[in-house]
């Protein structure tokens, strides 16, 4: 909704959202999740544009997967997205200091907890995988104040409501309007700064591998980490049914000594955290938001139909997880995205 929407429209949207959330939380979460899955299947059937886009992206990411498996992942990703909305509505009531041991299982959190307990600054990154809202919310519930970058909603009433929900357990929000100074202040004070890091960054982004294709990625996370000598923790929150349950884990920890001395440290850092996000998606592909346009922007050499520049190839060859076959795949045509 545009920012200049009339107040009757703003109020109508706000009241509709509040009524829907109230109706959802009148019932137990498990039947609501089943209903949400059914609604997701309906959207999958009716929303042809997003269904085709998601299916195309899944085919691009998993060329070895059978067509039947791709279709199943596509359908389940639609179910998952609606279930995520239901979980967000239930989270303030279900996730608190007494309930979290029942709701969450932790995997390889040691390095992140060590940094947080020491009061050292840390950057937390995740992608549109699992329930990213629960990830930040639970960290705050456990007593780790997390500051998350947040784009304000166009509807001011809805925005204020969402902000209140997120702040209820101590999750702090940083809007893009004052982001630079606030982010530096948070890290300078030994805080934790959280990003959803898999958005398309446009034609001027840094193009790093993601599922065998180059994907435009924002430079700001890597630059911030390098400038302030702060480690990056790559995490996830996968749904683990039945009911309102999640697995929270750390995929990778990128420390300043890991990028020290590299010819292009920014490229290495950015590519490495995107590789971590990819690995967390590979374990639960049905919980990824495949309909968002991750590969929409293309590098200059692709737009000009030219070979990959030697400088880029050398950067790719320097990445420990890339081999010649993986680099060659980056040159394959993408098709329609």
Over 90: is that where the pLDDT of 198 sits? yes
Model confidence at 35: pLDDT above 50: yes
The 122-126 sheet, strands edge to edge: 104-107, 246-254, 232-239, 122-126, 192-196, 146-150, 172-175
State the pLDDT at residue 165: 67
Closest Cα partner for 191 from 122, 104, 142, 127? 122
Which residues face 175 on adjacent strands? Answer: 150
Report, as an integer, the average pLDDT of 87-112.
85
| Model pLDDT, residue 18 | 65
More confident residue, 287 or 6: 287
CA-nearest of 33, 32, 42, 61 to 288 is 61
CB 179 within 8 A of CB 210: no
pLDDT-derived band of residue 332, with 50, 70 and 90 as boundaries? confident
pLDDT recorded at residue 45: 95
Average pLDDT of span 228-241:
94
From 21-30, 143-152, 276-285, the region with the lowest mean pLDDT: 21-30
Q: Report the chain's mean pLDDT, rounded to a whole number.
A: 87
> Per-residue confidence at 113, pLDDT binned at 50, 70, 90?
confident
Q: What pLDDT is attached to residue 1? A: 42
Q: What is the pLDDT of residue 151?
A: 72
Whole-number pLDDT of residue 278: 98
Asked if residues 72 and 95 have their Cβ atoms less than 8 Å apart, the reply is: no
Q: Is residue 4 very low, low, confident or very high in pLDDT (cuts 50, 70, 90)? A: low
Q: What band does 92 get if pLDDT is binned at 50, 70 and 90?
A: confident
Averaged over 238-247, what is the pLDDT? 91
CA torsion through residues 302, 208, 295, 330, sign: positive
Share of the chain above pLDDT 70, in %: 89
Query: Looking at residue 221, what is its pLDDT?
Result: 94
pLDDT (tens digit per residue) in 202-229: 999 999 999 999 999 999 999 999 999 9
> Which pLDDT score is estimated for 149?
78
Rounded-to-integer distance, Cα 228 and Cα 185, Å: 11
Q: Which helix (H) or strand (E) holds 285?
A: none
User: Which residue's structure tokens are 């929150």?
Assistant: 237
Residues 146-169: tens digit of each pLDDT:
888 777 667 677 667 777 766 665
Extract the tokens encoding 42.
Answer: 């309906």
Q: Which two structure tokens, joined as six digits, stand for 317?
A: 């060859």
Q: What is the model's pTM?
A: 0.90
């Amino acid at each position: 909704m545009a920012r200049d929407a009339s107040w009757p429209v703003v109020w109508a949207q706000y009241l509709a959202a509040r009524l829907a959330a109230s109706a959802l939380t009148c019932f137990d979460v498990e039947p609501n999740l089943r209903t949400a899955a059914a609604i997701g299947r309906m959207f999958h059937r009716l929303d042809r544009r997003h269904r085709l886009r998601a299916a195309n992206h899944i085919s691009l990411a998993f060329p070895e997967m059978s067509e039947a498996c791709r279709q199943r992942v596509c359908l389940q990703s639609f179910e998952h997205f609606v279930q995520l909305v239901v979980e967000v509505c239930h989270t303030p009531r279900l996730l608190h200091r007494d309930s979290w041991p029942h709701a969450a299982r932790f995997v390889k959190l040691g390095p992140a907890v060590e940094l947080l307990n020491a009061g050292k600054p840390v950057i937390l990154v995740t992608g549109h995988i699992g329930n990213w809202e629960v990830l930040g919310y639970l960290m705050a519930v456990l007593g780790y104040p997390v500051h998350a970058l947040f784009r304000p909603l166009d509807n001011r009433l809805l925005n204020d409501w969402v902000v209140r929900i997120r702040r209820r357990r101590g999750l702090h929000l940083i809007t893009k309007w004052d982001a630079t100074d606030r982010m530096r202040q948070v890290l300078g004070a030994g805080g934790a700064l959280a990003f959803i890091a898999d958005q398309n960054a446009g034609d001027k982004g840094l193009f790093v591998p993601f599922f065998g294709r180059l994907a435009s990625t924002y430079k700001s996370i890597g630059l911030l980490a390098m400038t302030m000598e702060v480690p990056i923790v790559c995490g996830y929150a996968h749904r683990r049914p039945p009911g309102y349950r999640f697995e929270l884990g750390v995929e990778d920890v990128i420390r300043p000594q890991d990028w020290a001395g590299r010819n292009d440290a920014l490229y290495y850092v950015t590519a490495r955290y995107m590789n971590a996000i990819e690995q967390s998606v590979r374990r639960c592909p049905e919980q990824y938001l495949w309909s968002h346009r991750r590969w929409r922007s293309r590098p200059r050499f692709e737009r000009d139909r030219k070979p990959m520049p030697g400088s880029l190839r050398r950067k790719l060859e320097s990445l420990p997880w890339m081999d010649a076959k993986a680099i060659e795949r980056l040159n394959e045509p993408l098709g329609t995205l």
